Amino acid sequence: MTTLYEPAYAKLNLTLDVLDKREDGYHNLQSVMQTVSIRDDLEIDVGTGKPWRLLCSVDGIPTDETNLAWKAAAVYCRSMKKDPDGLEIRIVKRIPSGAGMGGGSADAAAVLRALNRHFGEPLSILALAELGAEVGSDVPFCVLGGTAMVEGRGERLRKLPDLPDCIFVVCKPDFSVSTPELYRKIDETAIPHRPDHRAMENALLAGDLGMVAENLWNVFDPVVTSEHLELNYIKSICHSYGALNQQMTGSGSAVFAIMPSFEYAAVVCNMLKENYPQVFIAKPV
- Decide if 246 contacts 129 (C-beta within 8 A): no
State how far the Cα of 43 lies from the Cα of 158, in Å rounded to an integer.
29
Catalytic pick among 93, 138, 221, 235:
138
1: Cα separation from own chain's centroid: 31
Residue 101, classed as helix, strand or coil, is coil
Total residue length of the chain: 285
The answer to whether 174 is a known catalytic residue is no
Phi then psi for residue 66, to 5 deg, are -80, -15
Q: Considering the candidates 11, 93, 172, 235, report the single residue annotated as catalytic.
A: 11
Rg from Cα positions in the chain: 19
Q: Quick check: is 71 catalytic?
A: no
- Identify the helix (H) or strand (E) that includes residue 14: strand 2-21
Determine the Cα–Cα distance for residues 32 and 13; give it in Å rounded to an integer.
6
Catalytic residues: 11, 138
